[in-house]
């Protein structure tokens, strides 16, 4: 049975950090506390054979976190210094069943990516996640634009540090910079 999880506008940025340890120390010294401990997220991205979603900068994803499965649709981002776009998400019982349904509808799995995510908060306005990926570590700030800007400054970052690219785009850029043939962004690959 699927249940609605979140139907909203997602507003976020990423910030590159040197290491997990440095990021944790920085967040702790600025008053952030872990609200969701470190967990592996496994993501499968789906698209049509003609890349209709990718070409429109939209995303259709199945995410598995422990025993939880989420189906997510993200619309095309709006222009601006923050990445802002529609996000629709629902829980489901089975990732395999969801994948089969999507395949029957003409979608195929086009990319897999993994990350370890730890969620931090200080107050209630927004969330900071520490994302450990095979291509680097990032802080992701999600919340109202004013909160994002204020929090980025608090953490010692400037607007020129803001990253609005997806993890898929960051992976492709990393492959190009390192002379690697792109595949899936998974640990141990």
Residue 99 in any domain: the answer is yes
Residue 185 in any domain: the answer is no
pLDDT tens digits for 54-80?
Answer: 999 999 999 999 999 999 999 999 989
Residue 162 has pLDDT above 50, yes or no: yes
Residue 3 has pLDDT above 50, yes or no: no
pLDDT of residue 79: 85
Residue 129 in any domain: the answer is yes
> Structurally, how many domains does the chain consist of?
1
Residue 187 in any domain: the answer is no
Specify the pTM. 0.91
Residue 183 in any domain: the answer is no
The alpha helices in 15-129, defined as continuous H runs, are: 20-29, 52-55, 95-104
Q: Look up the domain containing 42 and give its range.
A: 3-178
Residue 77 in any domain: the answer is yes
Q: Which residues contact 161 (CB under 8 A, 6 or more apart)?
A: 15, 16, 152
> Which CATH number is 47's domain given?
2.40.320.10
pLDDT tens digits for 104-132?
Answer: 999 999 999 999 999 999 988 999 999 99
Assess contact for 149 and 159: CB atoms under 8 A.
yes
């Amino acid at each position: 049975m699927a249940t609605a999880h979140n139907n909203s506008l997602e507003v976020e940025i990423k910030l590159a950090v040197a290491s997990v340890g440095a990021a944790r120390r920085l967040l702790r010294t600025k008053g952030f506390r872990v609200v969701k401990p470190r967990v592996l997220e496994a993501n499968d991205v789906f698209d049509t054979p003609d890349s209709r979603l990718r070409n429109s900068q939209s995303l259709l994803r199945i995410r598995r976190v422990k025993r939880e499965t989420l189906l997510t649709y993200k619309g095309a981002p709006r222009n601006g210094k923050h990445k802002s776009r529609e996000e629709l998400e629902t829980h489901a019982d089975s990732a395999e069943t969801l994948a089969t349904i999507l395949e029957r509808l003409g979608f195929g799995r086009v990319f897999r990516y993994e990350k370890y995510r730890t969620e931090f908060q200080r107050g209630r306005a927004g969330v900071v996640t520490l994302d450990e990926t095979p291509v680097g570590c990032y802080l992701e700030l999600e919340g109202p634009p004013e909160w994002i800007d204020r929090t980025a400054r608090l953490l010692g970052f400037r607007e020129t540090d803001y990253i609005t690219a997806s993890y898929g785009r960051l992976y492709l850029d990393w492959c190009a910079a390192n002379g690697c043939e792109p595949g899936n962004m998974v640990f141990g690959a």
